[in-house]
């Protein structure tokens, strides 16, 4: 079930930085970091699991299985991307129940039309505001614990402008959302306007590698009124570049590629081999 730490952090006005994870290795590494929460990125998870773009192709079942595995393996609270809730109102109800049971501490639901697209790409369309308001009300009613937070995201900024995005944020707040997520502001001034507009906790999406928003430091985001920053792309972009360099080097004949490598013995510890060896020694009477 949901961990209470995330709600407590927001209540204490403590800024929460949540690195994006997309598989079990990234989740275990993020859990060892100083991060206060972990973000299960839909973009990265779909790319890692299916090798496909984040365009509504992953199913509820695809994502739930990965959210459950990650939440069950980490100690930090998990914020999980749930796209549009995977359908209508009954689907949102089912999704909230599933994500909460899987151990997530917050669920992110957005107001895009289905099939959704990555929030930092063009061509996104949003549903009528009233439809999303109903989804948020259903999501709030479906949860069994107030420790499970509802993050309401609007993608209206890119196609309809900041004023419409702010208007939707107000409506989603009134519907009961715990955290508001105005996707892809395009300037620091827009972040400032958003921060001044709302009293509820705000989430900023910091997309490294070429997103539509400026990549502002955590301290600046906190100064502007934001409570949470997610970093969905830093993990899979860093991994992809390291893999590209490493693979190119070894196939070109370089046995020791000039790529920073995680220590092998530390990796065996990260992934749980010491527990295996201890069990074998105990029950197999190994020397």
Vertex 87: Cα angle to 47 and 19 (nearest 5)? 40
**How many C-beta atoms surround the C-beta of residue 61 within 10 A?**
10
Checking if the pLDDT of 2 tops 90, the result is: no
Tokens of 171: 């409506």
Checking if the pLDDT of 268 tops 90, the result is: yes
Domain boundaries, the chain: 5-239
**Rounded to an integer, what is the distance from CA 96 to the centroid of its chain?**
15
Model confidence pLDDT, tens digit, residues 199-219 = 999 999 999 988 789 999 999
Architecture of the domain spanning 5-239: Alpha-Beta Barrel (3.20)
Contact between 18 and 35 (Cβ < 8 Å): yes
Share above pLDDT 70 across residues of the chain, in percent, rounded to a whole number: 97
Rounded CA-CA distance 65/102 in Å is: 8
- In DSSP terms, 205 is beta-bridged to 230
Model confidence pLDDT, tens digit, residues 170-186 = 999 999 999 999 999 99
- Collapsing DSSP to helix, strand or coil, 27 comes out as helix
Rounded CA-CA distance 227/201 in Å is: 5
Tokens of 30: 């993020």
284 falls in which pLDDT band (50, 70, 90)? confident
Tokens of 247: 């693979």
Checking if the pLDDT of 121 tops 90, the result is: no
User: Which pTM value belongs to this model?
Assistant: 0.93
């Amino acid at each position: 079930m949901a961990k209470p730490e995330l709600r407590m952090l927001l209540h204490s006005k403590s800024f929460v930085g949540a690195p994006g994870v997309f598989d079990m290795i990234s989740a275990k590494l993020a859990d060892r970091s100083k991060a206060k929460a972990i973000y299960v990125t839909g973009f990265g998870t779909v790319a890692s699991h299916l090798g496909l773009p984040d365009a509504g192709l992953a199913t509820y079942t695809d994502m739930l299985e990965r959210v459950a595995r990650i939440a069950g393996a980490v100690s930090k609270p998990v914020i999980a991307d749930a796209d549009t809730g995977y359908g209508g109102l009954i689907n949102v109800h089912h999704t909230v129940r599933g994500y909460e049971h899987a151990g997530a501490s917050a669920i992110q639901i957005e107001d895009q039309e289905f099939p959704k697209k990555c929030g930092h790409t063009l061509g996104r369309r949003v549903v009528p505001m009233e439809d999303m308001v109903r989804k948020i009300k259903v999501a709030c009613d479906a949860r069994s614990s107030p420790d499970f937070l509802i993050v309401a995201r609007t993608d209206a900024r890119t196609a309809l402008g900041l004023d419409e995005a702010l208007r939707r944020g107000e409506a989603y707040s009134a519907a009961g959302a715990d955290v508001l997520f105005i996707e892809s502001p395009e300037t620091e001034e827009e972040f400032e306007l958003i921060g001044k507009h709302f009293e509820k906790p705000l989430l900023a999406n910091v997309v490294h590698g070429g997103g539509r928003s400026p990549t502002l430091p955590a301290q600046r985001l906190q100064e502007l009124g934001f409570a949470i920053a997610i970093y969905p792309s830093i993990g899979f972009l860093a991994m992809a570049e390291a893999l590209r360099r490493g693979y190119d080097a070894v196939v070109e004949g370089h046995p020791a590629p000039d790529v920073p490598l995680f220590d092998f013995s530390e990796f065996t510890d990260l992934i749980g081999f010491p527990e295996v060896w201890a069990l074998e020694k105990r029950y197999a009477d190994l020397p």
